[in-house]
Structure 1
């Protein structure tokens, strides 16, 4: 391949990339640079936090640490880094619902000990729960009907969605797309 052909190839690739980006909705471009904020309230500990976790081009480590603390296993006190994709999912969920209300946490991270105890009491608790991997959360949002929260989560097609109306929460995770 000659230098001319190589340069021509680079130019054509650049034009192709520009054409592809021009097809991305303007809102997607804006979301890459817009700050992202979430507010949490843990029903078990009474703790809350409201943080901007994404500023243009990067996650804020101190905000993620604050989230991880509020989402810790309230039975053991253990915390672990939660999946950043879970925070992205929750942010997008609040956008779909057009709400800036706080997200109430029923269960965030679960230690293996806590998960085993809960699984021993209920067949509805997965023995290999995504909660133990920091990839799942059980939530409610004041003023938002659980059925609407479920529908919004399903519309995102970004992971698992469990509906527990009798217990008053919706489960979302960043695993494979599925529902129950």
Structure 2
């Protein structure tokens, strides 16, 4: 009789433990999903400014927290190379670039064709190029023109469009892609 009671008790305990483990898995899964991988990782970006010859590789977000010193370094390399003016770059733009880098895994830094533009520089460029917007998001630190060595600009364009994160412009003659955090549009 003790053997039967012992077996039943062991079986009951086993079932309780198994049920508890199953419930724990079910109820913790949504909590785990709420903490996306992007909040638990390091967001590293690498840039090369084609006009100044400067490079920077830095982690601007770690475990979901922004690193202000890194954002200042990125803002500096993205400055208006004509005037030297610096404007803080919008972190949403950095996150967009990070998504592109994660997808492509480039071996080379992102080449900056144009980052921040002062109003004076933007006005001067508008006088010589009809493609420069009067209220360009470059003047707000919300746009960048890039190339990524080793990747066709058409590939970068397609990927950026698929992310639905803002404006994507393609300039085939100058071989660069414009990215911004404004309304979703493609040209």
TM score, norm. by length of structure 1: 0.84
Cα RMSD after superposing both structures: 1.9
Offset of residue 101 of structure 1: 2.8
Which of 65, 68, 72 in structure 1 is aligned with 2:75?
Answer: 68
The equivalent of 1:22 in structure 2 is 30
CA deviations 1:102-159 (Å, max 9, x no partner) are 1000000000000000011111000000000100000000001111010010010000
The equivalent of 1:106 in structure 2 is 113
SS of the equivalent of 1:67 reads: helix
The equivalent of 1:116 in structure 2 is 123
CA deviations 1:18-74 (Å, max 9, x no partner) are 98x839968x72111101000000000001100011111311111101001000000
SS of the equivalent of 2:36 reads: helix
Name the CA distance, whole Å, in 2 between partners of 1:163 and 1:25.
35
Q: Where do 5+ consecutive residues of structure 1 fail to align?
A: 1-17
Name the CA distance, whole Å, in 2 between partners of 1:84 and 1:29.
18
Higher alpha-carbon Rg: 2
Q: How many residues align structurally?
A: 161
8 Å contact kept, 2:117–2:138: yes
Name the CA distance, whole Å, in 1 between partners of 2:163 and 2:32.
17
SS of the equivalent of 1:127 reads: coil
The equivalent of 1:37 in structure 2 is 44
